[in-house]
Structure 1
């Protein structure tokens, strides 16, 4: 913290421990349903008692101290929600990995976070074994379910039922969560999220994304709790909203709609690729969507044609937010009432909305100067939702902050009214013949062809132009390269026109369901299409 301003120093920086959200919900509605998965049901009082018991055991049996990091490797389960709140209640830092990551990847996350305790689902013995062998700082490995590698959270909880932990006192800037970046441009980095920051994020989510939530609402989890979905569910707990988990890690759209009908699900957090799958699935045509209030999508831009299909199919229930894990999603919001399937006059086609409450957004040039409306530059932001920095990574911090502004690495522009339009990642932009080319614009045009389901445009080296665009497409019907090129003729400037169109059965996606250019480039190299001299031929 910097020194006093104007002679005034804060008397206290103490804030609420995030686990108190659970206690408050349990007091208001102890017998109400809190968590659902398959045939399992936990009431709010069950959830609270189990969390207390586990937190007490973490402190007394496993020696967890304030600030200790706890690695978690698991697919979604009720105990994962319990463990998250128990770790916070005991003063620890929650460090979840995406369950689809390999043992070696989880070893790296464990080492880089300095975790001293690990909770690993019984379905991942190889991950536990690798971390035990490679991470000497780990004192214990616990399991969700019966496993040979350690005692189960279920047994630990049962042994400690009725016990109360010493609830950790926390300050605003005390870490609560290491939120790992997806590592699309390098190894994942641990973004340090704090108790004070996350309390603001919860309040902001309720204000901007899902106003008016009550205990009558229900939320369906269709994404890993390790990242954005976990933040979303923390918000649900704050208002006593039921959390309904899919019965297995297998994503099945028919099951989604069965649970929506049974539990009158009103909120859902997802990413554009999953939302697209839901909208286009045959089961959706007969689904009861009447209970839906807010389907929040984030993590990547949603193409206009997909957005229109979703609005036509589901109604005006879409909420988009833009924000990186470092800002826990809190940069911009496009609420339900600003989503429209029709391209009416005055409609801001392609916007990701306006600045979130309490957040300031600027478009800046390379020197950090604010650019006027309409000019493209780097999207930067300040506000209480911005993280405390990357854990033990001063070089990344120096690169990501400038004059207090967090630099997102995304490019875009704002209109006169402050609505943001993303043109792409800075790393996705390529220069062809001296002109900047932003793939997002090209991808939007290609997706207007009825035979194209998904597309990614990226720049590859070229001896004449420096770089040229290649479009990797997933067709939904038969189409030839010349036909697609003819379709785009006149819709794009010549320098933006892709020089090659490739047709694949599917695009590689990250563990969070995102289409990432890094993975596509790696696949192009694996197929021998680029790399060495091939890209320059």
Structure 2
């Protein structure tokens, strides 16, 4: 089946160039060192786009922590008709080399990886500072763009198997940004912290939201393997009005520096269940928080709503459609990606009647709020009953001492598989009896974990917890089974 084409109205120039025409003096990019207006950033983007065109680059690999150069290259690729291909700088070089070959990238921007694929042309932007001051030279004109053409790829599902490269259009991103703004206002003078990497759909969504609204991207100081900056340090340095975080980031922020949230108007939370303890602390600070269900293939947010203790992910945003079929969430709409990039082109896997099957389980309540039960591939059968670990994890996270939970199956001669849990707690872990009593009114008896174990000491490499790695680390450490 051929990819769906967005029905979003055509625009002649990119959102960034539109912002430069509408709000030329408004702040577009704020770093700890300097500020760029939309006019100056757009001029620099047009110059780099000419460079990419002159070198006939079609697929640019971008590897490294978020930077001014990466933001310029994202918009320049759109102007030049090149595919912006960000890859995680945390991947081992052997994996990066394989991905570069697999997706036929023809140039790289990877300042810290000179040994990587040395035969490929390198894109260097050492003269980025030329965009920070007005020029007397006539700037290149903004390119006329087909918003339905591919502009980027983002890897999806890399932690559970071979990564798939989801390809998006500017029309996808524009529809996503406009729908999100219907619920979370954003305007010139606001600044959204770029706390998510550009190899994550959430990072790219921030760039597009800000450009469409004339708001600034607040870029933290660049990280390196030897210089890691916390979200709290970035918040204190840049005073953002809007922030996107996953639960693990929010937990660290509240523990490290809750005062850094003082400037925040809106906090967008994703990446899993939000515990009652976190919500209580946000309420005490007067933070306006939203929970969201989204995915790479739908250009970020699908549903969004006020953060709540019931576990709802919010209502459907404009530009998206959603239905439940046999317990599975299926989606489509203007934000649906073009497809996965494969050797013979793009592949968009849809149902016979044109929906994208997410492999997530869920249901809608009477108010149209979505509740996500878990992943089909995480489900296991306990005594003949389907059991979704995420449902139990969400219930456990309502406990004031529980920060994060992972439920996994253990073989049993009588029931086939029984649920066990790993807990990361604020202080001491509650006892089995305390947790059983806490869950009694929240989930069915057979779903209660038969044993609880302390969270293992395992490094986190991504934004989302790698379930398999955490469970494996606990087993290697000899925790009770």
Encode CA deviations 1:66-116: one digit per residue, 9 max, x unaligned.
xx2111001111111111111111110111112322222322332222211
* Partner deviation per Cα, 1:187-226 (whole Å, 9 max, x = no partner): 1100111132222222222223x33x22221222222132
Query: Pairwise CA RMSD of aligned residues?
Result: 3.2
Match of 2:362 in 1: 412
CA separation of 1:502/1:397 partners in 2, compared to 1, >3 Å: closer, same or farther?
farther
CA contact (8 A) 1:69 1:93 kept: yes
Q: Cα–Cα, structure 1 residues 524 and 324, in superposed 2: closer, same or farther, change >3 Å?
A: same
Q: 2:56 aligns with which of 60, 63, 75?
A: 63
- How far off is 1:333 after superposition? 1.4
Aligned CA distance change for structure 1 residues 109 and 169 (closer, same or farther; 3 Å) = farther
Kindly state the Cα deviation for residue 527 of structure 1 after the two structures are TM-superposed: 4.1
For residue 298 of structure 1, report the CA deviation from its aligned partner: 2.0
How far apart are the structure 2 equivalents of 1:485 and 1:287? Answer: 33
Match of 1:229 in 2: 203
**Which ranges of structure 1 fall in alignment gaps of 5 or more residues?**
4-9, 145-151, 344-348, 366-376
Moved more, 38-47 or 351-360: 38-47
Cα distance in 1 for partners of 2:155, 2:344 equals 16
Q: CA deviation at 1:154?
A: 4.0
1:259 equivalenced with 2:237 (yes/no): yes
**8 Å contact kept, 1:352–1:422:** yes
| Larger of the two Rg values belongs to structure | 1
User: Which SS does the other structure have where 1:23 is aligned?
Assistant: helix
Give yes or no for contact 1:79–1:153 (8 Å, CA) kept in 2: no
- Give 1:378's aligned residue: 328
Residue-by-residue CA offset, 1:241-280 (whole Å, 9 max, x unaligned): 122111232333542442354xxx3211222221222223
Cα separation, 2, equivalents of 1:45 and 1:155: 14
Q: Decide which of 49, 54, 66 is 2:43's aligned counterpart.
A: 49
Q: Secondary structure in 1 aligned to 2:410?
A: strand
Change in CA separation of 1:445 and 1:34 when aligned onto 2, cut-off 3 Å: closer
Higher mean C-alpha displacement, 88-97 vs 216-225: 216-225
Q: 1:478 to 1:58 in 2, by over 3 A?
A: same
The aligned runs of 1:235-246 (5 Å cut-off) are: 235-246=209-220
Q: Which residue of structure 2 aligns with residue 440 of structure 1?
A: 390
1:301 aligns with 2:251: no
In structure 2, relative to structure 1, the CA distance for the partners of 1:480 and 1:15 (3 Å cut) is closer
Hey, what does 1:371 align to over in structure 2? Answer: none
Whole-angstrom CA distance in 2 between matches of 1:46 and 1:363? 46
Distance change in 2, residues 1:15/1:528 (3 Å): farther
The answer to whether 1:332 aligns with 2:303 is yes
Q: Classify 1:454/1:339 alpha carbon distance in 2 versus 1 (closer, same or farther; 3 Å).
A: closer
Q: 2:109 and 2:164 mapped to 1: Cα distance?
A: 20
1: distance between equivalents of 2:180 and 2:435?
A: 43
Q: 1:276 aligns with which of 248, 251, 257?
A: 251
Structure 1, 33-42 or 481-490: larger mean CA deviation: 481-490
Measure the CA separation in 1 of the matches of 2:251 and 2:355: 34
Tell me, yes or no, if the aligned pair for 2:193 and 2:243 is still in contact at 8 Å: yes
Match in the other structure for 1:499: 450
Cα separation, partners in 2 of 1:508 and 1:258, compared to 1, 3 Å: closer
What corresponds to 2:168 in structure 1?
193
After TM superposition, the structure 1 stretch with the greater mean CA deviation from structure 2, 24-33 or 482-491, is 482-491
Q: For residue 25 of structure 1, give the secondary structure of its aligned residue in structure 2.
A: helix
* Structure 2 unmatched ranges of 5 or more: none
SS at match of 2:182: helix
Indicate conservation of the 8 Å contact 1:69/1:95, yes or no. yes
Check the 8 A contact 1:220/1:267 in 2, yes or no.
yes
Residue 519 to residue 397, structure 1, CA distance change in 2 (3 Å): farther
1:453-478 deviations in Å (ceiling 9; x for gaps): 32111123334322221201123323
Query: Partners of 1:457 and 1:394 in 2: how far apart?
Result: 39
Cross-structure match for 1:131: 117
- Higher mean C-alpha deviation, range 501-510 or range 109-118: 501-510
Partner of 1:147: none
SS class of match (2:50): helix
- 1:38-58 deviation line (CA, Å, top 9, x unaligned): 213222222122111111111
After superposition, the Cα gap between the structure-2 partners of 1:460 and 1:104, relative to the gap in structure 1 and judged at 3 Å, is: farther
- Name the CA shift for 1:390/1:525 in 2 (closer, same or farther; >3 Å): farther
Which residue, out of 246, 266, 290, partners 1:319? 290
Q: CA deviation at 1:511?
A: 1.5
Q: Which structure exhibits the higher relative contact order, with contacts defined as CA atoms closer than 8 Å and separated by 6 or more residues?
A: 2
Counterpart for residue 64 of structure 2: 74
Q: TM-score w.r.t. structure 1 length? A: 0.79
Question: What corresponds to 1:368 in structure 2?
Answer: none
Does the 8 Å CA contact 2:176/2:319 hold for their aligned counterparts? no
Partner Cα separation in structure 2 for residue 396 and residue 517 of structure 1: 30
Query: Please, which moves more after superposition, 350-359 or 105-114?
Result: 105-114
Aligned to 2:122: 141
